[in-house]
Structure 1
Amino acid sequence: MRFVIITGLSGAGKSQALKSMEDIGFFCIDNFPPALIPKLADLFYGSKDIDKVALGMDLRGGQLFKDIFSALDYLKKNKYDYEIIFLEASDEALIKRFKETRRRHPLSDGGSIISGIKDERQKLTEIRRMANSIIDTTNLTAAQLKQELYNIFIEGRKFKGIIVNVMSFGFKYGIPLDADLVFDVRFLPNPYYIDELRPLTGNDKKVREYVMKWEEAKQFLNKLEDMIEFLLPFYIREGKSQLVIAIGCTGGKHRSITIANALYELLKKRDYTVILNHRDVGEE
């Protein structure tokens, strides 16, 4: 029996997560009152028909949400196994989502969206601490979120606690505001000055081979991989759920894309959840 509670910040993707869980065979209920968890657990743990249950719950239930802690105590006391998936996103991403959907934040009470988000973060601190997996959906598409849930609940891969977003960009268009680590690869020979390579991008084999034929490119990639591998466990220990690594060159078209692609492949082999984004590839 897999008994999963999906909770987190409003606008972080709980409804989408429940749809994905339903697609992979879970019996799902959204906006479920936590006080009813004990009765539901008794029902399903004694059933032979349903062996995968996912419940969505959040602060839309108001005071009722506080019942979740006594409900979880009941599950522990009766030795019912359960998992908590906590979804979150950056303030900027949440504000954008609420504005796009023209929805009111459930804790805004007629005030600003940001005040509601900050209030909700504070009230969810304890349940976040108890979560088995914390998934930051800031840069995740619906398909990527579904894939992550699939990895956890179908493939049985353990979520390492952090999502790594590898991004290429062009300095001429500005450094990404959400970048945690920024690396400048403008020291590498520039394919832009090769007529044959100028219209191509780092996604093309010829550009990739040109950039990576230089010894400094190979050494840089090796050192970059070692440093990221060293840093990630410490970011996880400090509770960081997403790390944005930005690789920049002049236009964000050749060198940065090549190195970002290579780093992405290396981190994937180490079973990290990695997202690849070429921010400025279509600018020129």
Structure 2
Amino acid sequence: MPRAKTRHEKSTPEGRYLYAVVPIEVVDSLNLDTPGIQGADVHPVTSGKLAAIVSNIEQQSLRPERKHLSTHSAVLGQVMDQAPMLPVAFGIIAGSEREVRNLLAEHANDFLTQLRAVSGNVEMGLRIRLSAPNAFGYYVNAFPELKAMRDDLYREGEPSREEKIELGKYFVDLLNGFREATADKVLDGIESVARQTVVNEPRNESEVVNLAALVPQKKVDAFNATVEKLGATLPENFQVDVTGPWPPYNFTQLRIHFEEVEEAAQGAP
């Protein structure tokens, strides 16, 4: 995701807060009436075959407060509904409009390649989690070998610290194997309705699968229906959560440092 240290140029009183990068041909038809950060007007800054969707901002950094995060998402949502786009992570601020133009020029080939790759697609999130309150207790009953080891260790009283550690390691190994098998089953099931997938690390002990799928916009309904069928095949006490459509964060990379862009621009003949 985009990361940048930013600064203001003395000659420019306002920076530019970045939301997204879009192809130049969509700019004239874009409706950008959703208010930007701090209520500023959202507008394009163009360079060559690209445009950045921005709004003016006076400060150099922005705290990730809920209202700002919500505004950022709302602008992205409006752009996503109208055009292919590369989403910019929250909080990226260029020191001037010139820095934005230099950014687009410096990375034009990369941005255009990424835009072509995600055009006509959206990101869908899919998580599978255990709804039982005690994950270890559930898996003890689900995995006979884990139950046997636990019962054996506690048969003669309280096990040693080392034995508890070994039990914990065995539990983690079994859980990871179950997660991998479940993820493989899901990936096989959604192969026909997803162009690409990214499997992310589960966020906690109860989460089994955490993945993002790049789905053609025309196949979103089919994706949801496919996931619903997959959910029906899972063991009891597992819940499937689908989110989206979202901008394709997991399928784009915009790692930008504005100082590097400025130095490159200043060194150009």
TM over 0.5: no
Q: Which has the higher strand share?
A: 2
- Where relative contact order (Cα < 8 A, 6+ residues apart) is larger, the structure is 2
Please report the TM-score for the alignment, with normalisation by the length of structure 1.
Answer: 0.29
